[in-house]
Structure 1
Amino acid sequence: MTSAWMEMAAGRGALGVGLIVAGLVVVALLLGAFWMGARVRRREPPPPSPEEQPRLPEGGPVREVAENREPDEVPRSDHRLTPHEMPAFGNSSTRTGPEKSRRRWTDGKSGSFGGG
């Protein structure tokens, strides 16, 4: 063997050792992440027991109610209201409004803009 072959073999050996070291670092990081996740999981509360699960109300499942609602009016003032001033008027409560029939599509019309 010539010295050129020896130099090429030495270079590849260092590269191989570097890849093995990088692989070991990756494996160590994965094991550390698994260990850290197990520690966090142990500190979490256990899942709820069957007795702690939510139950249906006595009257059965609650059904959806479709009704028209009217919002509260925003009070007028001389200065512009900021968001932090709005809760002073109470929660945005609504009340039941008068029954209004909603427009429905008719047969033969697509309901899209200009489609009729």
Structure 2
Amino acid sequence: MTTLTTLTTPMAVPDPSTSVVPFVVGLVIALALIWAVWMGIRFRRREPGPPDPADQPKLPRAGPVHEVSEMREPDEMPHTDDGGSRLTPHELHGFGNAGSRRSEDQRPRRWGRGDRA
């Protein structure tokens, strides 16, 4: 007859930090999310409500305004003739904002293969 020997191994006792730390981290994250939702609700209540129908934009008496499409000519870039340094933005016409004027030729440009600007 064979005798069975029982192995007596001590049960491993888990370290409390392995189960408590993840629980505390999860609790902190859950509380942070609850706080964020609560703050969002508070901010949302402070916002003005939707506009009344009387506050909505109205059509002009003359009817709807239509889009105007026209060809424009840009202002030419000023050149320095003395070969000096290039112009800085504050030296340009309109403080760097390129102005334009209405073109005499109102036909739109048609680009073809091999055309250059």
Identify, as 1 or 2, the structure richer in helix.
1
3-state DSSP class of the match of 1:30?
helix
Alignment match, 2:110 = 103
Deviations 1:44-96 (A, max 9, x none): 33332222222223333332333211112334456533223436469543222
Which of 14, 22, 29 is equivalent to 1:10? Answer: 14
Contiguous gaps of at least 5 residues in structure 2 = 1-7
**How many Å separate the matches in 1 of 2:100 and 2:31?**
59
Contiguous gaps of at least 5 residues in structure 1 = 106-110
Aligned length: 103
Any runs of at least 4 consecutive aligned residues in structure 1 with deviations exceeding 6 A, and if so which? none
Alignment match, 1:83 = 89
Tell me, yes or no, if structure 1 residue 58 matches structure 2 residue 48: no
Normalising to structure 2: TM-score of the pair?
Answer: 0.61
CA RMSD between the two structures: 3.2
Q: Percent identity?
A: 48
3-state DSSP class of the match of 2:14?
helix
Normalising to structure 1: TM-score of the pair?
Answer: 0.61
Structure showing greater Rg: 2
Change (3 A) 1:86 1:40: farther
